[in-house]
Amino acid sequence: MYDIAIIGAGPAGASAALFAAKAGKKVVVIDSDQSVTRRAWIENHYGVAEITGPDLVETGKKQAAKFGAEFITDKATAISGEAGGFTVKTEAGEYAASHVIVASGLMTDVAEASGLQTKDGTEPRIKTIFDVDAQGKTNKAGIWAAGTCAGVSMHTIVTAGHGAAVAINVISELNGARYVDHDVLKA
């Protein structure tokens, strides 16, 4: 049983995985390797002078893996169950988790099979997004959404930041207190 299953390993999903795994949560990330970020050349990500999309994605995954996040290449097809006991079904298997973060970028096809409400997107070229509240909660308790699929501006700094923000909300709920992760400069 994982604490958090994350669907998608683009900037939103991998950033969520980094925060969750670094917080000591048992994390699995299921990714179908179709990130649009892999086509990008990026010069507007704060703190990074310039980077290719593939390098940003791979670096993010490595950061999360360093703290124990497990990455699986597979496609999620449905989420069943209730908060505390979800099953994420994939084309090749299934994963049990108490919470789920969907960070599926442009794709929301897991919604219908999982009873998740969607709505029209407002960002350019984004047709459909998950209907989430300000914290990233969907209409099903325990299932959250982050990044492009949650309707935020489609830029790597924003989607990565949103993945982190939603993960912090999930970690805080699991811990029963607001969570903060600050490392201090070593002397």
Ligand X SMILES: Cc1cc2nc3c(=O)[nH]c(=O)nc-3n(C[C@H](O)[C@H](O)[C@H](O)COP(=O)(O)OP(=O)(O)OC[C@H]3O[C@@H](n4cnc5c(N)ncnc54)[C@H](O)[C@@H]3O)c2cc1C
Q: Which residues bind ligand X (CB under 6 A)?
A: 7-13, 30-37, 39-40, 42, 44, 75-76, 103-107, 110, 147-148, 154-157, 159
For the packed helices 53-66 and 11-22, what is the interaxial angle rounded to 10 degrees? 20
Torsion of CA 35, 37, 38, 39, to 10 degrees: 120
Of residues 98 and 156, the one with the C-beta less far from ligand X: 156
Query: Shortest Cβ distance from residue 137 to ligand X (Å)?
Result: 17
Of residues 105 and 136, the one with the C-beta less far from ligand X: 105
Q: Which DSSP string corresponds to 38-87?
A: GG-EES-STT-S-EEHHHHHHHHHHHHHHTT-EEEE--EEEEEEETTEEE
Query: Shortest Cβ distance from residue 144 to ligand X (Å)?
Result: 13
Query: Shortest Cβ distance from residue 10 to ligand X (Å)?
Result: 2
Of residues 69 and 76, the one with the C-beta less far from ligand X: 76
